[in-house]
Amino acid sequence: MNALRKLSWDWYDGEIPANVEVDETAYIETTFSFTRYRSQVQGGVTYRKAASTYLGTMFDVGPSGRVVLGNYALVHGARIICDASVEIGDYALISWNVVLMDTYRMPRDPALRRILLEKAALSPNRLAESQEKPRPITIGPNVWIGFDACILPGVTIGEGAVVGARSVVISNVQPFTVVAGNPAKQIRSLPKTASEE
C-alpha cells in the first residue's frame, strides 16, 4: 500500500484513513468514499484480497463502526451507514445506490431528534453522534444485491442469496434464495454451491 495513503488515479484530493486496512490486491477508486468516515477503531474498514469499491460508495461510519469487505467483494456505489458492524462476505456483488445500514441514527421520537439536530448544528462536522443502539448486519458470501435496495438494521443475508433491485430487506434472508419487493419476500430458491455440505 502507498505509504502516503493517497491514490495516484484519484480525482478527489483525499487520503485513505490510517485505521483502514487495505490488502495489496484490493482496489479503491476514490478516497471520496471516506469523506464521512470517522471510525476510531483499528480496521474501521478492512479490504480483504481483491476487494474493491467504486465511485459512489460512501463509508458513513461512526466512531465505533467496523466494516469488512470480504475476498473479491465488489461494492459498486453502496452507502454504508455503520455504527457497529457491517460485514460483507467473500464474492459478494453490491450494486449502485444500495443502502446497508446497521442503525437509523435518529430516534423515532421527534422531540429527541430535535435535541440531536440542535447539537449537530453546532458541531464542526455538522454531525451528531447517535445514541441509538446499532444492530449489526451481515451480508453472506456470494450474495448479489441489486441496485437501490435497502438492507435495514439487524438483517443477515444468507450465502448465495440474491436481493432484487429496489427491494427493502427488513428480515433475514435464507441462503440460496431470491428475495424481492418492498418489504422483500422470498420468490425463488437457487441451487446450492459446492461450499454447502
- Applying CB under 8 A, which residues contact another protein? 58, 79, 81, 97, 99, 101, 104, 106, 108-110, 113-114, 117-118, 120-124, 126, 148-150, 152, 166-168, 170, 182-183
Looking at the Cβ atoms of 50 and 173, the one nearer to another protein is 173
Looking at the Cβ atoms of 142 and 156, the one nearer to another protein is 156
Give the Cα separation of 81 and 37 in Å (integer): 10
Looking at the Cβ atoms of 27 and 104, the one nearer to another protein is 104
- Least distance in angstroms from the C-beta of 121 to another protein: 4
- Least distance in angstroms from the C-beta of 39 to another protein: 18
- Least distance in angstroms from the C-beta of 166 to another protein: 7
Which one, of 163, 168, 162, 108, lies nearest residue 132 by Cα? Answer: 108
Give the Cα separation of 163 and 47 in Å (integer): 23
- Least distance in angstroms from the C-beta of 108 to another protein: 6
- H or E stretch covering 114: helix 110-121
Give the Cα separation of 107 and 131 in Å (integer): 8
Give the Cα separation of 52 and 125 in Å (integer): 27
Looking at the Cβ atoms of 26 and 143, the one nearer to another protein is 143
Q: Three-state SS for 74?
A: strand
Looking at the Cβ atoms of 95 and 142, the one nearer to another protein is 95
- Least distance in angstroms from the C-beta of 60 to another protein: 8
- Least distance in angstroms from the C-beta of 106 to another protein: 6
Looking at the Cβ atoms of 71 and 104, the one nearer to another protein is 104
